[in-house]
Amino acid sequence: MAAPDRLTKRNAIRRENERLILAAAEKVFAEAGFGGATMQLIADMAGLPKANLHYYFATKEELYRKVVQQIFEIWLHAAKSFDKAAGPVEGIGAYIDAKMEISRRHPFGSKVWASEVMHGAPVIQDYLETTLRDWTEGRAAVIRRWIAAGKMAPVDPYHLLYMLWATTQHYADFGHQIETLNGGRPLSAQEWARAKESVKSIILRGIGASPSQAEVI
């Protein structure tokens, strides 16, 4: 039972199949919701027989949970930009950049997370109450410190964080609506850049931390 991580062909197959299944599941769960997704659809998209899915993931719930965990970890990782910053312009600016980039590259994961939370977080409630709560309180403390140091206006840290999440994830979760209003075409690279800049400039100025106003304060 030892050495389960050797680079044998079996392990490669297992890893590759799990990757295939998770990618297909992320897309199907995002597009159909948990209830609307079917194991058959996921199997077809992964190019595997349905029974094979149940070999790697015992139940639909187990597969779903893995998908949700993935995006959560990506978000947590993105938050590091927040910490190594000296002030709100760099910290929040980099955080917005990172979250916007995730919305662009992982729109399915973002939708699955949104769906999960909207339905009352039946699967990941424990994450909300532990990891997310701790993370949020930590970042709120950073913001309070910036406020105390006069680096930004005295805004409520929690509502600022909610605003950051809402605005950045909106570009993934409501991407279809944005695409429709964009003439039916997905945002181009330039349009993504413009979106990023718009969000950053409004929020940074909104908290009294925009670069141009830095001298004024």
CB of 123 to DNA, least distance (A): 13
Three-state DSSP state, 78: helix
Q: Which residue has the tokens 């948990």?
A: 34
Which entry of DNA, its own copies, none binds 61, CB below 5 to 8 A by partner kind? DNA
Spatial CB neighbours of 123, under 8 Å, sequence gap ≥ 6 = 61, 64, 65, 68, 116
Task: Write the binding mask 164 to 203 for its own copies: x where contact by CB under 8 A, - elsewhere.
Answer: -xxx-xxx-xx-xxx-xx------------xx--xx-xxx
130 near DNA (CB under 7 A): no
Residue corresponding to tokens 């910290």: 91
Q: How far apart are CA 126 and CA 26, in angstroms?
A: 21
Q: Nearest distance from residue 66's CB to DNA, in Å?
A: 13
34 binds its own copies (CB under 8 A): yes
Q: Which of 37, 78, 96, 147 binds its own copies (CB under 8 A)?
A: 37
Please report the DSSP string for 150-183 in residue order. Answer: TSS----HHHHHHHHHHHHHHHHHTHHHHHHHTT
Residue 8 touches which of DNA, its own copies, none (CB < 5 to 8 A by kind)?
Answer: DNA
The tokens describing 40, both together, are 């058959």
Smaller CB separation from its own copies, 14 or 123: 123
Residue 145: CB partners within 8 Å, gap ≥ 6? none
Choose between 61 and 191: whose C-beta lies nearer to DNA.
Answer: 61
Site string for DNA, 195-214 (x = CB under 7 A): --------------------
Count Cα neighbours of 21 within 13 Å in the Cβ-side half-sphere: 28
Element (H, E) at 4: none
Regarding 31 and contact with DNA (CB under 7 A), the answer is: no
Q: Does 38 bind DNA (CB under 7 A)?
A: yes
Minimum distance from CB of 63 to DNA (Å)? 8
The footprint of DNA (CB under 7 A) covers 1, 6, 8-11, 13-14, 17, 37-40, 48-52, 54-56, 58-61
